[in-house]
Structure 1
């Protein structure tokens, strides 16, 4: 059975889900060349697509429609006779059980206020339909597995778990030129100005940081068409860096005193793993997937407890040995999170559907 990959991600606005799909298909492409993945073809909707230099994966532009309409009505036809892999939360219902879909979290159920009514209604309908049609479901953490299992009324083992990777952030040495933090000590935040990213928790940090000569630098943008932004008005004292390149983000992680990751809900938490890969200590909101992903490499705070985040900051900023130890532990843990390992996880989960390939030389999934 031929393997097809839903390439709609190549025509979408870049976000964490598109990052996942682009990096994962890059790793799969390399493994196809090694004979460690079966041959596959990426099917892409018409129109401009992000250029991706795949050497071994086939790529075809098919159909006439775009967006959800292309995915639901045309993609099943062009992938007929084969197995379809969907990496970005959505998949065509008409394809039934002859497909797998990676659903990154259960946010449309657990944090409905963060999404528009139309968005969450469609995604809830789609997820229940895919579960009922016996499509293979995959997610990126035990936390997301548990939440999706509960929401979709499925046994947990009906949903496979794979990791994400962070090695993309190490592709070059980084460059701070052109950013207002160049040469200044700062604490970094990476996250969009949306409700569940919980940036309002940062307001208590600005004055204590300023007293220590540290700036608060925030990378990210607000996406108001889908999300309902909240809690960022009081952050006027922070450096809003907006969207940055991977090269700049790598340099920011490496230069930052630490990363604050205040998000109250994450399916995986890629910025925290990127930071660990760059040797940047991580302070994260407790709960969700972050403690599972970062484990003892991060220091945790509870936004419901006044002063919790400031206390954690003082512990990292004021104790160089503690910060260096966190950096070492984070580097060791992040080494497991590579896109090759992620592709290996997925290959193992879908072995029955996509066929046997030779054993991959990758590390086991970190628990």
Structure 2
């Protein structure tokens, strides 16, 4: 019998790092969950940025099924258009998966791309003409290059069909999940984090960036209405100095410690930050999936979030929802959680149950089926 040649699946992990918090976490969890599911003749090869931090945490173990190759070219660099295809050929890659839309237009091997959202096309006024133009060209090239396009929500799949005319037959909807570290944390861990960050026993929490579509300025304005509860709003996440509006609005409203901007919190402490919160709020105008919502639910925190795009399918009765552009509705949802402990208990129960419906094992298993489909199916019409 002729031996079966192993199939090398190359997962592009160059998006692991501080510039890509959500996509990096998606990539790390796939890299961890895929190896135990691989067939006898399949192996996973990670293309890694050699300067990425803490890579040992997610590349260690199972060397027979998972290995790492350093690639010193940024996803933003034009030269990746020829460097990555050359490396794929040299490595004998059977398939290439880019978890981000910036990828070679001609990878030279069967390819899969994950599209998280099309926010620059849905909200063009939030971006410069240059940003919109570069995104549009890049994402169109990516979906043309891929045999299968993974959408992380039904909302993103609809956008791919309607805005980029991607055939539904080429789209696979595969949801993300909370990292296993996100679960209710013990009181000593929560108390230690509160002491370190000088947080009170009761606080509300937002986790995410301050990009315009995150709707933080409106959240700050709504929180000013609720300051009589004496519960501070803690805003955690990397801060982009290009978008100072939320901080400026908080200062103009004289909110002081009623709104605290604490910057990024490392993953080791983030679960405790979630677990200690009285409630979690996520007012985004648009999301591809909404990882912070499912992370908060997994930590047992009652959630109020907008019903925009994927968030409505993610919440599914497990969060209080509001229209992202309706300040009164946002205030009502937050007021309900702030004043009613029974409502908080009920939403905590629903959130934990909802989060348990998602797992990275399921996500990885569905992704592996996409790889096999891309390897065996005919080239899709571009």
> Where on the TM-score scale, by shorter chain, does this alignment land: which range?
0.7 to 0.9
How far 1:99 moved relative to its partner? 0.5
TM-score by length of 1: 0.86
Unaligned 5+ runs, structure 2:
1-6, 377-382
Q: 1:195 aligns with which of 206, 212, 225?
A: 212
Q: Kindly tell me: are residues 337 and 71 of structure 1, through their superposed partners in 2, closer, same or farther at Cα, counting changes over 3 Å? A: farther
- 1:156-235 counterparts in 2 under 5 A? 156-170=168-182, 173=186, 174-175=189-190, 176=193, 177-181=195-199, 183-224=200-241, 228=243, 230-235=245-250
> Match of 1:75?
84
Q: Kindly tell me: are residues 180 and 354 of structure 1, through their superposed partners in 2, closer, same or farther at Cα, counting changes over 3 Å? A: farther
1:58 aligns with 2:67: yes
Q: Kindly tell me: are residues 66 and 309 of structure 1, through their superposed partners in 2, closer, same or farther at Cα, counting changes over 3 Å? A: closer
Q: Kindly tell me: are residues 198 and 36 of structure 1, through their superposed partners in 2, closer, same or farther at Cα, counting changes over 3 Å? A: farther
> Match of 1:261?
282
Contact 2:16–2:23 (Cα < 8 Å) also in 1: no
Q: What is the CA–CA distance in structure 2 between the aligned matches of 1:265 and 1:66, rounded to whole Å?
A: 27
Q: What is the CA–CA distance in structure 2 between the aligned matches of 1:43 and 1:87, rounded to whole Å?
A: 12
Which SS does the other structure have where 2:250 is aligned? coil
Corresponding residue pairs, total? 349
Q: What is the CA–CA distance in structure 2 between the aligned matches of 1:349 and 1:296, rounded to whole Å?
A: 30
Q: What is the CA–CA distance in structure 2 between the aligned matches of 1:331 and 1:197, rounded to whole Å?
A: 24
> Match of 1:131?
143
Contact 1:88–1:102 (Cα < 8 Å) also in 2: yes
How far 1:145 moved relative to its partner? 0.6
Contact 2:16–2:25 (Cα < 8 Å) also in 1: no
1:89 aligns with 2:101: yes
Q: Kindly tell me: are residues 134 and 184 of structure 1, through their superposed partners in 2, closer, same or farther at Cα, counting changes over 3 Å? A: closer
Contact 1:86–1:102 (Cα < 8 Å) also in 2: yes
Unaligned 5+ runs, structure 1:
356-367
- 1:1-367 counterparts in 2 under 5 A? 1-10=7-16, 13-32=19-38, 35=39, 38-45=42-49, 47-50=50-53, 51-52=55-56, 53-56=59-62, 57-62=66-71, 65-67=73-75, 68-80=77-89, 81=92, 82-95=94-107, 98-170=110-182, 173=186, 174-175=189-190, 176=193, 177-181=195-199, 183-224=200-241, 228=243, 230-236=245-251, 237=255, 238-353=259-374
Q: What is the CA–CA distance in structure 1 between the aligned matches of 2:43 and 2:317, rounded to whole Å?
A: 39
